[in-house]
Structure 1
Amino acid sequence: MTPFKLTDELLEEIRELIAENKDAELQLMMKEFHYADIAEIADEMEVEEATYLIKLLDSEKTSDILAEMHEDIREAVLKNLTAKEIAEELSELDTDDAADIINELPKELVQEVISEIEDREHAKDIVDLLRYEEDSAGGLMAKELVKVNENWTVTNCVKEMRAQAENVTRVHSIYVVDDEGKLKGRLSLKDLLTASTKSHIKDIYIPKVDSVNVNEKGEEVARIMSKYDLEAIPVIDEIGRLVGRITIDDIVDVIREEADKDYQMAAGISQDVEVNDSIWILTRARLPWLILGLLGGLSAAAIMGTFEDMIAKHAVLFFFTPLIAAMAGNVGVQSSAIVVQGLANDDLKGSVSTHLLKEMLLALLNGFILALLLLLFTWIWKGSFATALAISLSLVVVIVVAGLIGTFVPMFLHKRNIDPAIATGPFITTSNDIFGILIYFWIAKMILGI
């Protein structure tokens, strides 16, 4: 199968068919595309054109298209649909996707849409999901799953499974519950097929099953599913009743969103933004860290001002200031990035002191090698061993301090339940610039005797 690629020619052809109201040709063309590809097409169209496509195609396909579309485009398209049309789309979606779309609707429209959903059980499940936090296991889960009672016979179990499977797009696991609905374990399809038809499920099910509580954070759910290589995980409530399941496609979205957020934090963007957001929103997201950088630069300038006489006598020190600041920032960001990654993946083991010691030894080794090269270069260039020694020794100390700060700060933030990703951006760079400049001129003053 050739991967889909949206070209300007294809987009223009679809637009012409829409403009000329050639519905039959358009339906025939769309029939060849996967719903995710149509969502990509709709994202590149004007809202009116995307709405035309949604209204033209069958709800069984357009519901999935809506779920895949960019949030902003989907929100605009939904404004052009009636409550009944939206309800028809939601009726075709799994409850988790339907709840996500409901959350994007204006509050005054939500109740009207829910009342238009003909399958009252489906509507009840959607409403139940709306009470959970969006980034919790309850907010991520879908109600659709296959569960069997431990007291059923194999024959009765197969009959019930057939009925349940009609509402489940993909059966990842068969879950076993007791008479109160509490999760007991999982059922192997092989054991079910090979067991006697008169056997009871409680005699053949596997009691060990990984699960998460409805209030568990999405990031923790992602960590558990990644660690145990799970395609789906059951969700239980406070008293252990099975209430839903989370599938791998939902967790991939969580991982991507978390990675995007961490990347933006590392770049010095304080809130979740996208390229198409307004200038005002983008400014609010970027400005706080830019102000921090400005204050850091002013602080570094003030520190250099206190060493004005020394700089006047040894102007060569001024030339190496950007190098010292850059090395401090780079080493700090490298160290913090490794720590943040370890914390995110739950791979960071051992005490804070152990990691600080390891980072100090690593920084000493790297600093010594770099300082030796710098010493030779400066000595040959300027012919002053004392000046070369002052600059090189400063580099070693700056690298060690930057490495320690880059290691300690994210671990400290993590202990205080603050997202450590904040430490990989301008926060670390700015603080290390200030400390680096201070250390640089202080050591130079000690060695050069000024």
Structure 2
Amino acid sequence: MTPFKLTDELLAEIKQLIENQSDASLQSLLEEVHFADVAEIINELNKEEATYLIKLLDSDKTSDILTELDEDVREGILGNLSSKEIAEELEELDTDDAADIVAELPQEIVQEVISEIEDREHAKDIVDLLRYDENSAGGLMAKELVKVREDWDVLTCVKEMRAQAENVTRVHSIYVVDNEDKLKGRLSLKDLLTTSTKTHISEVYIPKVDSVNVNEKPEEVAKIMSKYDLEAIPVIDEIGRLVGRITIDDIVDVIKEEADKDYQLAAGISQDVEADDSIWDLTRARLPWLILGLFGGAAAAVIMGGFEEMFRRYTVLFLFTPLIAAMAGNVGVQSSAIIVQGLANDDIKGSIGDRLIKEMLLALLNGVILAALLLLFTWIWKGDFLTALAISISLIAVIIVAGFIGTFVPLFLDKRGIDPAIATGPFITTSNDIFGILIYFLIAKLVLGI
């Protein structure tokens, strides 16, 4: 299958067909195009063109298209649709996707849209999902699943499964519940097919099944599903009742969103933004960390100002200030990036003390090697062994401290329930610049006897 590529020529053709209201040609052109690719096209259209296309295509396709659109584009389209038209789209979606769209609607039309949904059970499930925090397993799950009762026989079970499967896009697992809907286990399709029709499910189901609570954080759900290679995981409420399931496609979205957020935090962007956001939004996201960097630079300048006399006597020290600051920042970011990655993947084991000792020994080894190279270079270049020694010893100390800060800060933040990704980038770089320069001049002053 050739990957879809949106070209300027194709986009211009679609715009022209919309302008000419050539409905048949548009439908023919987009008939075999995947809904995700149609969403890519619509993201490039203006609101009126996008709405025209959504109204033209069948609801079974446009409902999926809506879930793939950029949030602001989807908001504009929904604003141009009537409550009945929105309801028709929601009826074609799984409950989790439908609930996500309803949550974006203006509050004054939510009730009206829900009342227009003809399938009352579907509407009830959507309303039920809306009560969960969006940053929880309950807010992520879908209601569509296949469940059987442990007191049914195999024949009854098969009949019920056929009826339930009509509303489920993909059957990943068959869950077993008791009379109160409490999750008991899962059912193997092989066991179902090879067992007598009169056998009760309680005799053949597998009692071991991984599940998550409705209040579990999506990040934790992602870790569990990744660890056990699950395509879907059941969600239970506070008393163990089966209330929904989370599928792998939802978890991929969670992982992507978390990665995007961590990348932006590491780059010094304090909130979720995209390249095409307004200048004001981009400024608000970037400015806090830039201000931190400004104050950090000012603090470093003040520190350097306290060593003016040493600068006058040993000008060469000034030449190596950028190197010391850069090494401190680089080592700190390397250490914090490894720790943040380990925390995200749940690979950090043992105590904080053990981790700090390991990182500091690593920093010491790297520092000694780099300092030896710098000592040799500076001695040959300037011919002053004592000054070269002062700079080299300072480098070792700076690298050790930077490694300590880069390791301790994300571990500390994680223990306090704060996203450790905030520790990377400007935060670590700025703090290590300040400490690095201070340590550099203090050690140089001590070694040189100034």
Q: Same fold (TM over 0.5)?
A: yes
In the other structure, the counterpart of 1:289 is: 289
**1:390 aligned residue:** 390
Distance 1:53 1:441 in 2: 66
Provide the rounded CA distance (Å) in 2 between the counterparts of 1:109 and 1:224.
37
Q: How does 1:1-80 map to 2 (within 5 A)?
A: 1-80=1-80
SS of equivalent to 1:148: strand
Question: In 1, Cα distance between the equivalents of 2:24 and 2:284?
Answer: 47
Q: Is 2:196 the partner of 1:196?
A: yes
Structure-1 separation of matches of 2:188 and 2:355: 44
CA deviations on 1:30-69 (whole Å, 9 max, x unpaired) are 1110111101111111111111110000001100000111
Per-residue CA distance 1:368-421 (angstroms, 9 max, x = gap): 111111111111111100111111111111001000110011111111111111
Q: Indicate yes or no: 2:354 matched with 1:354.
A: yes
Instruction: Show the 5 A alignment for 1:279-358.
Output: 279-358=279-358
Q: Which residue of 1 aligns with 2:369?
A: 369
TM-aligned CA deviation for residue 337 of structure 1: 0.6
* CA apart distance, 1:156: 0.5
Q: Which secondary structure state, in structure 1, belongs to the residue aligned with residue 148 of structure 2? A: strand
How far residue 345 of structure 1 moved from its aligned partner, in angstroms, is: 1.0
Shift of 1:437: 0.1
The code of the aligned residue for 1:58 comes to D
- AA aligned opposite 1:371: A
Partner of 1:276: 276
Which position in structure 2 is the counterpart of 1:154? Answer: 154
Partner of 2:116: 116
Structure 1: runs of 5+ lacking an equivalent: none
Residues 6-42 of structure 1 deviation map (CA, whole Å, 9 limit, x = unaligned): 1111111111111111100110111110111101111
Q: Does 1:246 align with 2:257?
A: no
**Secondary structure of 2:347 counterpart:** coil
> Separation in 2 of the partners of 1:402 and 1:236?
45
Q: Aligned-pair distance for 1:360?
A: 1.0
Count of aligned pairs between the two proteins: 450
Q: Which moved more, 1:368-377 or 1:224-233?
A: 368-377
Task: Give the aligned partner of residue 179 of structure 1.
Answer: 179
The answer to whether residue 224 in structure 2 is matched with residue 224 in structure 1 is: yes
SS at match of 1:175: strand
Q: TM-score, normalised by structure 2?
A: 0.99
1:254-290, Cα deviation, whole Å (9 max, x unpaired)? 0100111111110111111122222222111111111
Name the aligned partner's letter for residue 364 of structure 1.
L
Percentage of pairs with the same residue: 80
In 1: Cα distance, 2:173 partner to 2:5 partner: 34
Q: Distance in 1 between matches of 2:312 and 2:132?
A: 64
Query: What is the CA–CA distance in structure 1 between the aligned matches of 2:97 and 2:312, rounded to whole Å?
Result: 66
| 1:84 aligned residue | 84
For residue 36 of structure 1, give the secondary structure of its aligned residue in structure 2: helix
Structure 2 stretches of 5 or more lacking a match?
A: none
Shift of 1:135: 1.3
Q: Distance in 1 between matches of 2:319 and 2:108?
A: 63
Distance 2:16 2:341 in 1: 48
The 3-state SS of whatever aligns with 2:125 is: helix
> Aligned letter for 1:128?
D
After superposition, what is the alpha-carbon deviation per residue over 1:182-241, rounded to whole angstroms, capped at 9, x for unaligned?
A: 000000000000000111111100000000000000000001000100000000000000
Partner of 2:407: 407
| Secondary structure of the structure 2 residue equivalent to 1:176 | strand
Task: Give the structure 2 partner of residue 214 of structure 1.
Answer: 214
Q: Which amino acid aligns with 2:17?
A: L
Task: Describe the superposition over 1:403-449 as per-residue Cα deviations: whole angstroms up to 9, x where unpaired.
Answer: 01100111111111111111012111111000000000011101111
Alpha-carbon distance, 1:153 to partner: 0.8
Residue 139 of structure 1 aligns with an amino acid whose one-letter code is G
Aligned to 1:447: 447
Moved over 3 A (4+): none
Q: Deviations over 1:140-185 (max 9, x none)?
A: 0000000000011111100000000000000000000000000000
For residue 310 of structure 1, report the CA deviation from its aligned partner. Answer: 0.4
Name the amino acid aligned to 1:304: M
RMSD of aligned residue pairs (Cα, Å):
0.7
Q: Distance in 1 between matches of 2:405 and 2:85?
A: 56
Any idea what SS the aligned residue of 2:430 has?
A: helix
Measured in 1, the distance between the counterparts of 2:424 and 2:81 equals 44
d(CA) in 2 for partners of 1:134, 1:384: 64
